[in-house]
Chain A
C-alpha cells in the first residue's frame, strides 16, 4: 500500500466513503439510530459503564472507541509514524475536552454523529452543524491572532502506549464483564452485601443497542487505520476552509455524508424531519450553542474527538489527555443534569454551555506565544 495515496484528494474521499458506509451499516447491525459511530456518545457510554455517571440507559464499553485507537496505533507503527510526545498545556487540553463533551451532549452528538444525523434525515443536525462552523470560526480568529498551546516534546515510547493499553484493558473488561461494586442492602433488618457494577451494561435504551462486538471492533480498527493515514478530521475540514481556503479535508466529510445517506436509503434508515428524531431534540438554540461550544473547544485543542482518538493512538499524549477530559466531562454532564435528552436540554445544560464558552474565550485570549 502506498502511503501517498491517502494524502491525495481521492484518498481522503475514499476514507470518508468508507466511514460513511461503515457507520450506516453499524446502525443496521445494531448500533443506535444515526449513531453508527459517535465519539462523544460512545465515550459517554464508556464513562457510564465505568460508573463515572449513573444514567442507566447509556452504559456500554463501546468497542468502536477501542478500535479507533488500536487501528491508529497499528497504522502508525507500520508506517513508522509512531512518536510518543506530550507537554503542550495538558491541563488546558483536559478542560477543553471536558467542555467539548458537555457541548456535544447538549446537542447530542460529536461532529461525526452530526453528519450521520444529517445523512439519516434529522434536520436538527443542520442547526448543530451551523453552530459547529461558527464555533470553529471563532477558533480560527484566535489562531490568526497568535493563539497557541505551545510546543510538544518527545517522550519515551512507553508514554505513548498508555492510551492504547487503557483501551486494551477496557476490551478485557468488555469480554469478562467483571462486577467491581459492593453495596450494602438491608432486607427485613438483615444487612447483606450485594455484588454490582461497575462494569455496568445498559439493559435498555441506546446503551443496550449495539452491533456484535467483533464487527464493531474490526470496523473501528479499519476506520482508525484509515483515519490515521489520511488525517481525517471534521474540525480540521471546516477550519482549513475558513483559514486557508483548503478544501482537502472537507471533501472527506462530504463523502462521509453522501455514503451514509446512500446506505441509509438502501437499508431504509432515512427518515427526514425535525421532530421525533432518534436520540435528538429540536431545541434550535441549544443545538446551536452546544455545538458552537464544542467547535470552539475542538479548534482550540487542534482536532475533533475522532482525530484526538487517532492522535492518542499514534503516541500523542496531549490528545490522550483531551480524550480523558471528554470521558470525565461525560460523567459531569450526566451527574450534574447537563446532558440533553430527546425531551430537550437538561436543567443545567444551558448554564454549562455558557460557562464552557467563557472558559474557551479566556483560553483563546490568554494562550498566545510568539515564535521566531
Chain B
C-alpha cells in the first residue's frame, strides 16, 4: 500500500498530496499519515469528494487515513 507522510504539514498540503496520490492510482488503497484533526478531516472530505471510502486509525497524536479507491 502506498503511503504519504503529511505529518507536520498544514492544510492544504495534506489534501494536495492525498489528491495527487489518488490521481496516480487506478484502484486499491492509499495511506495518508497526518498529525492534526483538521488535516484528518480535510483529507477525509477530499477523498469523499473523489468518491473514495476512508477509514481512520489513531496512534498517539497521529492519524492514519486509509483511502480506498474502487
Contacts and interface: CB of A to CB of B under 8 A. Distances in A.
Interface string B29-67: 000000111100100011001000000000001000000
A231 B10 contact: no
B69 interface: no
A231 B8 contact: no
Contact of B10 (A154, A248, A302): A302
- Best-surrounded residue of B6, B12, B17, B49 (most CB of chain A within 10 A): B12
Given A246-B49, A248-B45, A371-B17, A151 B12 contact: no
B43 to A, nearest CB: 11
Interface residues of A, number: 24
A236 B15 CA distance: 12
A148 B13 contact: yes
Given A81-B37, A372-B5, A88 B45 contact: no
Nearest to A6: B41
B46 A244 contact: yes
A88 B17 contact: no
B25 interface: no
B46 A236 contact: no
Contacts of B15: 243-244
Contact of A244 (B7, B19, B35): B19
Interface in B1-29: 4-13, 15-17, 19
Given A7-B41, A81-B37, A151 B11 contact: no
A143 interface: yes
Contacts of A88: 8, 10
Given A143-B16, A244-B15, A371-B17, A151 B41 contact: no
Interface string A204-240: 0000000000000000000000000001000010011
Nearest to B7: A151
Contacts of B11: 236, 302
B12 A143 contact: yes
Interface of A: 7, 81, 83, 85, 88, 143-144, 148, 151-154, 231, 236, 239-240, 243-246, 248, 302, 371-372
Given A302-B11, A302-B12, 12 more contacts: A85-B8, A88-B8, A88-B10, A143-B16, A151-B7, A151-B8, A151-B9, A231-B38, A244-B46, A244-B49, A245-B49, A246-B46
